[in-house]
Structure formats: C-alpha cells, structure tokens
Amino acid sequence: MTASITAIRRAEIPAQGLQLDLCWDAALLAQLPEDSCRDIEPPLHVQLRFRPEGGRIIMDGTCRAQCRIACVRCLERFEYPLTRSFRYVFQLPGMHKAAGNVQLGAEDIEAVVLDGEQIDLLAPVLEQVCLGLPAYPHCSSGCRGLCPQCGANLNTGACACTSATGPRSPFAVLGTLKKRHEQA
C-alpha cells in the first residue's frame, strides 16, 4: 500500500501483532532533511512487523530502495540496489534494570526507550538505509578513477596529459634525485 504513515501509536498494535507494508513516495521523502535521503530514489519500500512482548514492542523490518550514490574513484553517480533487514526493540521508560553494577545482555543493547505514545518509523528506517550503503562505493570493480594531474575520468578514455608525457607520479622527483646521486 502506498502510505504516508511515518509513526504509529503503541495502542494501535494489537496483542497478535501488526504488519505494515509501506511505500514512501517522492512527496514524503522531499519533506525530510536533505542529508537523510539524498541518495534514495523514490519509492522506498518498507515492511514492518510489530509484536508486543511483555512491556516491549519488537519491530522487525525490511527496507528496499534503489539508491544513486557516487563512486569514490571516479565520482560518477551509479545505481545501487539496497535491501536491508533490521530489528528494533522498543521498551517503556522505567523498564530498565536497577542502577548499580549491571551486566547488559544482547536484548538490552538493541533496546530503544520510548519517550511517548508514538513510535517514529522514519528515524529507524532511514538509519538502516544509511547503514546499508557501502562506506567506499565503487561503480565497478574495474573503475580506473580520475587522472591525478588533470582530473579527467579515465573510464571514458585516456586524458591528454597521460598520453603526452606518460603516467605522472608524485614520486617521480625521487627518480631524478637518484640519478643525481649516482652521477656525483
């Protein structure tokens, strides 16, 4: 379903659980801060399953999107398909263990304390989109990057400075120092 649901009230989650299939369109994503979704090509598909368990609410989800990200070698933007599964555990304030020396378990580390009656859906989903993007994206494994001299994209062909003078290295000056030392 195409929906602009970005939050859900705890009271709306029945005891047997709740499943939401959302499709966040360009209009909704345009309302967000630019940094949070600049790489996402709408729509962003989100599937969420809520399950109450004790005083906690467990949210299992999957997000799918087509992203346009920049290659770290050639700086060209390319399509990157993103699919990410995640889990959040929401608990009410005051449910944490007593103060003092407390050993945290895995369930304590993944818990998010609710600060009201609503569960924000945007923040955890956008967090997972950001975590799902590669830290050093490459448009292809054979990307040749940019010429260090003139900045030309070497994937589109050789640049003029490489063909005229050969490949230039910032360490080329060391070769001349070695020749001077040998001649002395």
Is the predicted pLDDT of residue 27 greater than 70, yes or no?
A: yes
Is the predicted pLDDT of residue 93 greater than 80, yes or no?
A: no
**Which pLDDT band, with edges at 50, 70 and 90, does 50 fall under?**
very high
Amino acid (1-letter code) at residue 176: T
| Domain locations along the chain | 7-132, 144-184
**Which pLDDT band, with edges at 50, 70 and 90, does 61 fall under?**
very high
**Which pLDDT band, with edges at 50, 70 and 90, does 62 fall under?**
very high
Separation CA 92–CA 173 (nearest Å): 65
Is the predicted pLDDT of residue 169 greater than 80, yes or no?
A: no
Q: What is the mean pLDDT of the chain?
A: 83
Amino acid (1-letter code) at residue 86: F
Is the predicted pLDDT of residue 99 greater than 60, yes or no?
A: no
Q: What percent of the chain has pLDDT over 90?
A: 41
Alpha-carbon distances, residue 123 vs 7, 8, 32, 56 (angstroms): 10, 13, 10, 18
Give the dihedral sign, CA 37/39/45/46: negative
Separation CA 79–CA 66 (nearest Å): 7
Tokens 């979704």 locate to 37
For the segment 63-71, the average pLDDT, to the nearest whole number, is 95
**Which pLDDT band, with edges at 50, 70 and 90, does 106 fall under?**
low
Of 5, 131, 143, give the one whose Cα is nearest residue 75. Answer: 143
Residues 6+ apart with CB under 8 A from 92: 55, 56, 113, 114
For the segment 113-140, the average pLDDT, to the nearest whole number, is 89
Is the predicted pLDDT of residue 7 greater than 80, yes or no?
A: yes
